[in-house]
């Protein structure tokens, strides 16, 4: 058997080898071009092959590529921490650098528990989350995740953290509509806290827009205001998992800013290094750091490559690029442009049950019978079919959906680099159209309205 590296999702499939990337396109060894409509895994936020980032990493590597965090700090790490403190809302002023989103949420979990311990409360160890969510693949992060597919094999090893309903209006668990619903899914947090006891709960974690597990599920107005109020009233920290949504993916630096809410702890990743370097961060507010700084003065976490100078230089260069080209200012107008076109596709292809999202993070949920919102049978593997057909036709889509008894079962994420132009959005839509025509042909069944 030919040895192969083991991180491909399907080990029995062959994958095209990529030769190079430029802007929103990737080119494989055979010369085929792919429009990166998902920025990989919502990561390549400024596109591929940006010379400024490569140069900044090169310059840093000429000075020093690695220092160990318990021996030294470095100029790029210090600058990056300062810059994040400036750019993030409220008193989110303390950055703990790690290498992946999972490490960032796992660190957030640990800091939340430590915060209460430093205050002398040892019983607050549970983290509440939502049953459609994804916070990472390591065991702590997976314990907080409502993603049955990724959890199933490891359930015996996971902490049994309680979950509440997601703000999934398309399939409202209460069969109501916002705002008349009174945000019952948020009120569930209060009910859960009463049941479990606030003295056992350290924090509530949420993705401001639910990504991989749901396909860009964006909450109704006032949802987070209610969540934050309940957290504050019950002395529970609010962790925003902005690994997918942060660094301007939806316009502002943090997606939670859309709802004028300031979390106590934030997890960042993906767009932070924009694919140029593995870097992520847990950013902690002054008031959470206060008892830690007065108490043990140490955070018992960290990784060999935490705050790697070359990765920090990449993240700094990404921030500079976003600023120099005023990229985030244009996210909203591009978002409206793309949303209109996706809505038009929905009328053309009735298997698109819903177009949803925020900024340049959109989800399409697929259903077999749109009027009744009946999903495809899981045996159809619709998401897989759409993603594979897209790739064959030169467009990259990100599969989403946790597949909870059909809830958010089939969805894809459309999240091109924030640098995408309107002309490139037109091309993205044309490629989606070709893909969907082909998917209809493969299904060979009429899709009812």
**Which residues here bind ligand PMP, judged by CB under 6 A?**
41, 100-102, 105, 134-137, 207, 211-212, 241, 243-244, 269
Cα 171 to Cα 165: distance, rounded to the nearest angstrom: 11
Residue closer to ligand PMP, measured from CB, 216 or 292: 216
Residue closest to ligand PMP (Cβ): 101
Residue closer to ligand PMP, measured from CB, 315 or 439: 315
For the CB of residue 271, give the shortest distance to ligand PMP in the complex, in Å: 11
Residue closer to ligand PMP, measured from CB, 157 or 371: 157
Residue closer to ligand PMP, measured from CB, 45 or 368: 45
Cα 96 to Cα 132: distance, rounded to the nearest angstrom: 27
Residue closer to ligand PMP, measured from CB, 111 or 429: 111
Residue closer to ligand PMP, measured from CB, 243 or 317: 243
For the CB of residue 153, give the shortest distance to ligand PMP in the complex, in Å: 17
For the CB of residue 121, give the shortest distance to ligand PMP in the complex, in Å: 27
Residue 316 CA to its chain's centroid (Å): 20
Eight-class DSSP state of 217: B
For the CB of residue 1, give the shortest distance to ligand PMP in the complex, in Å: 28
Residue closer to ligand PMP, measured from CB, 135 or 393: 135
Our CA angle for 70, 73, 75, nearest 5°, is 170
For the CB of residue 212, give the shortest distance to ligand PMP in the complex, in Å: 5
233-236, long-range: CB < 8 A, 24+ apart: 234/190, 234/193, 234/198, 234/201, 235/198, 236/128, 236/193, 236/198, 236/201, 236/202, 236/203, 236/204
Cα 135 to Cα 140: distance, rounded to the nearest angstrom: 9
Eight-class DSSP state of 276: S
Which stretches within 325-416 are classed as H helix? Answer: 331-348, 382-392
Q: What is the enclosing helix (H) or strand (E) of 310?
A: helix 309-324
For the CB of residue 141, give the shortest distance to ligand PMP in the complex, in Å: 7
For the CB of residue 54, give the shortest distance to ligand PMP in the complex, in Å: 21
For the CB of residue 342, give the shortest distance to ligand PMP in the complex, in Å: 21
Cα 212 to Cα 150: distance, rounded to the nearest angstrom: 11
Of residues 35, 151, 83, the one with CA closest to residue 393? 35
Cα 412 to Cα 401: distance, rounded to the nearest angstrom: 8
Q: What are phi and psi of 406, to 5 degrees?
A: 90, -15
Tokens of 336: 């409206």
Of residues 194, 189, 191, 222, the one with CA closest to residue 205? 189
Cα 288 to Cα 302: distance, rounded to the nearest angstrom: 18
Residue closer to ligand PMP, measured from CB, 127 or 212: 212
Spell out the residues 6+ positions from residue 230 whose beta carbon is closer than 8 angstroms to its own.
186, 187, 189, 190, 193, 236
Residue closer to ligand PMP, measured from CB, 26 or 212: 212
- Return the SS3 of 210: strand
Residue closer to ligand PMP, measured from CB, 105 or 310: 105
Cα 103 to Cα 281: distance, rounded to the nearest angstrom: 8
Residue closer to ligand PMP, measured from CB, 88 or 429: 88
Cα 15 to Cα 231: distance, rounded to the nearest angstrom: 45
Of residues 196, 203, 215, the one with CA closest to residue 133? 215
Residue closer to ligand PMP, measured from CB, 269 or 353: 269
Contact between residue 356 and residue 218 where contact means Cβ atoms under 8 Å apart: yes
């Amino acid at each position: 058997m030919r040895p192969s590296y083991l991180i491909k999702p399907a080990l029995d499939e062959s994958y095209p080898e990529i030769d190079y990337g430029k802007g929103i396109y990737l080119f494989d060894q055979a010369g085929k071009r792919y429009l990166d409509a998902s920025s990989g895994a919502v990561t390549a936020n400024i596109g591929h092959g940006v010379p400024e980032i490569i140069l900044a990493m090169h310059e840093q590597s000429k000075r020093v590529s690695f220092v160990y965090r318990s021996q030294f700090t470095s100029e790029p790490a210090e600058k990056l921490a300062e810059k994040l403190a400036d750019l993030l809302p409220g008193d989110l002023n303390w950055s703990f650098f790690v290498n992946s989103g999972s490490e960032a949420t796992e660190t957030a979990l640990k800091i939340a528990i430590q915060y209460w311990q430093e205050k002398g409360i040892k019983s607050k160890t549970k983290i509440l989350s939502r049953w459609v969510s994804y916070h990472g693949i390591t065991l702590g992060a997976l314990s907080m995740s409502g993603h049955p597919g990724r959890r199933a094999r490891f359930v015996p090893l996971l902490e049994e953290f309680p979950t509440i309903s997601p703000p999934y209006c398309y399939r409202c668990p209460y069969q109501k509509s916002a705002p008349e619903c009174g945000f019952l899914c948020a009120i569930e947090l209060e009910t859960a806290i009463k049941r479990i006891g606030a003295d056992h709960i350290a924090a509530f974690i949420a993705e401001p827009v639910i990504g991989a597990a749901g396909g860009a599920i964006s909450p109704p107005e006032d949802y987070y205001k209610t969540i934050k109020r309940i957290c504050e009233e019950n002395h529970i920290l609010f962790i925003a998992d902005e690994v997918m949504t942060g660094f301007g993916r939806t316009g502002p630096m943090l997606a939670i800013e859309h709802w004028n809410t300031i979390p106590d702890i934030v997890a960042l990743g993906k767009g932070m290094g924009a694919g140029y370097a593995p870097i992520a961060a847990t950013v902690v507010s002054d008031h959470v750091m206060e008892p830690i700084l007065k108490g043990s003065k140490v955070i018992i976490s960290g990784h060999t490559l935490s705050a790697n100078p070359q990765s920090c230089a990449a993240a700094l260069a990404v921030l500079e690029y976003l600023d120099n080209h005023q990229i985030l200012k244009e996210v909203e107008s591009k978002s409206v442009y793309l949303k209109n076109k996706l809505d038009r596709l929905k009328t053309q292809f009735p298997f698109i049950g819903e177009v949803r999202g925020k900024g340049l993070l959109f989800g399409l949920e697929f259903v077999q019978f749109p009027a009744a919102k009946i999903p495809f049978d899981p045996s159809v593997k619709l998401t897989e079919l759409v993603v594979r057909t897209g790739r064959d036709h030169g467009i990259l889509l990100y599969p989403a959906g946790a597949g909870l008894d059909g809830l958010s079962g089939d969805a894809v994420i459309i999240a091109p680099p924030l640098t995408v132009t309107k002309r490139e959005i037109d091309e993205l839509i044309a490629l989606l159209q070709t893909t969907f025509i082909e998917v209809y042909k493969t299904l060979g069944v009429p899709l009812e309205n």
